[in-house]
Amino acid sequence: MDTIDPSPLIHESRYQLGTKPMPVAPYVSREQFELERERIFKKAWLPVARVEDIPKVGDYLAMDIKILETSIILVRQSDTKIAAFHNICPHRCNKIVKAGCGHARRLRCEFHGWTFNLTGELYSATNLELFDDLDKSKMRLPELSVGTWEGFIFINRDPAPTETLKQSLGELHDGYSGYFDDKKMVWAWGVEQLESNWKILLDASSEAYHAPVLHLNTLRNSLTGKKNPQCLFNRIDLYEYHRTASVYANPDYRPLPTEKIVSQYAATKIYPFSAAVGGLPPGINPDRNENWIFDLVGLFPNVFLMISTSWYSITWLWPVSENQTDIYRRVYMYQPKTPSDIIAQENMMVTNREVFRQDMNTVEGTHQMMRSGVLSQINVCDEEILIRHAFAAMDRFLKKHP
């Protein structure tokens, strides 16, 4: 049986991105890390949460974002408006609230009791007469730019971004309408201070070339088969900043007994041999390939989505230093309707978690050996073209944001 060819788009794009080895230095350089912090992360639109994380007026979510050197508060101001503030009191720079979710009519600093409306203005402070020349109208919480797309909340530390969120998303903006609306978070994992540069993690999440080897015992042959033994992508699309790829599913895959049972009785199909290709927004599996399991969507600079028919995951790679990264993953699915749905979701959760652990098991060793200085270059094949594109996108962004 003939094998499939690599995506034609790879051959159309490879010469624009080059074919030579790539340097190791950007993965281990402190100078490069600070450049990324100041001119990429502090200038780019970053997805940080979902709208359902703060569903009611007065709900807030506070989080520390180390790469931005700040803590932020996302606040639901109305049914249609979300704001983002630096979590800093203009009195003496104390954090207003602790990290996590909460609900309040107003935000109150726990140090001296300065209290702020949900719109950021100072509502009250004790003994204001003790301050000389204090302009109460200027004592407000400093804001970040904020926007939403398909239920994802994006922030931009730059108060006057050079691009709108829609402009930043480019071709991705209109391709996923309504897909994320009816799914709920079912699992979440994370690893903090992983001993790896964030770009090594990004690389590991940007290719399926490793699946037949690293995930042999977890994914088995669900992503490989006689026609595609190396798990070549069905399709690749490269944009100015972002990138997508459609991942192959083996039509001859033989499900495990549990998978077969839950596929037969579950109301929601989640396995590759039962994936439906119709009824999806145009950005998902755009070729409507029947031998498909999910799409990889790389959101510039540090987030990637995995999107299938009935589930999706979002993974954040938050740089801590050139040598450490915090990684968090959430998985979203439909609400289970039958006991078989619950079993299917739990079975998928176990597999997803083990795949996640296998991926994480490689990156610290990669980083250690990159830091050793033994090699100054890495070799990247055509099926790893998303890695080249990520670096090219960073270069383009840096040129636009000097």
If we measure between CA atoms, which residue out of 341, 71, 45 comes closest to residue 184?
341
Give the pair of three-digit tokens for residue 327. Answer: 């990684």
d(CA 229, CA 81): 48
CATH 3.40.50.300 fits 8-26+181-400, yes or no: no
Q: Is the pLDDT of residue 309 over 90?
A: no
Share of the chain above pLDDT 90, in %: 64
Angle formed by the axes of helices 339-371 and 257-265, to 10°? Answer: 130
User: Which band of pLDDT confidence, cut at 50, 70 and 90, is reported for residue 274?
Assistant: very low
Place of tokens 């987030």: 303
233: left (phi over 0), alpha (psi -120 to 50) or beta: beta
If we measure between CA atoms, which residue out of 99, 47, 91 comes closest to residue 70?
99
CATH number of the 46-160 domain: 2.102.10.10
Q: Identify the pLDDT of residue 153.
A: 98
pLDDT in tens, 135-185: 888 899 999 999 999 999 999 999 899 999 999 999 999 999 999 999 999
User: Which band of pLDDT confidence, cut at 50, 70 and 90, is reported for residue 10?
Assistant: low
Q: Identify the pLDDT of residue 335.
A: 84
Place of tokens 């639109």: 45
pLDDT in tens, 314-358: 999 999 999 999 999 999 998 888 887 888 888 888 888 888 888
Q: Identify the pLDDT of residue 132.
A: 85
DSSP label at residue 3 = P
Least confident of 11-25, 215-229, 260-274: 260-274
Q: Identify the pLDDT of residue 389.
A: 94
d(CA 51, CA 46): 14
d(CA 300, CA 298): 6
d(CA 116, CA 102): 15
If we measure between CA atoms, which residue out of 53, 96, 59 comes closest to residue 76?
59
d(CA 101, CA 62): 6
Residue with the larger pLDDT of the pair 269 and 284:
284
Q: Is the pLDDT of residue 1 over 50?
A: no
The pLDDT of 227-240, averaged and rounded, is: 90
Residue with the larger pLDDT of the pair 261 and 163:
163
Domain boundaries, the chain: 8-26+181-400, 46-160
The pLDDT of 35-46, averaged and rounded, is: 97
343: left (phi over 0), alpha (psi -120 to 50) or beta: alpha
The pLDDT of 79-101, averaged and rounded, is: 94
d(CA 123, CA 298): 41
Could you tell me the CA-to-CA distances from 340 to 265, 267, 343, 352 in Å, in that order?
A: 6, 8, 5, 18
Write down the pTM of the prediction.
0.92
Give the phi and the psi of residue 332 in degrees, each rounded to 5: -120, 140
List residues bridging with 49 in a β-sheet.
153
Q: Is the pLDDT of residue 382 over 90?
A: no
Give the phi and the psi of residue 388 in degrees, each rounded to 5: -60, -40
Place of tokens 């995995």: 306
Residue 3: partners with Cβ closer than 8 Å, 6 or more residues away: 226, 227, 228, 229
Q: Identify the pLDDT of residue 350.
A: 83
Q: What is the mean pLDDT of the chain?
A: 89
Q: Identify the pLDDT of residue 353.
A: 85
For every residue of 113-156, DSSP letters joined together read --EE-TTS-EEE-TTGGGSTT--GGG--PPEEEEEEETTEEEEE
Give the phi and the psi of residue 52 in degrees, each rounded to 5: -70, -10
Q: Identify the pLDDT of residue 275.
A: 52
d(CA 233, CA 383): 8
Q: Identify the pLDDT of residue 277.
A: 66
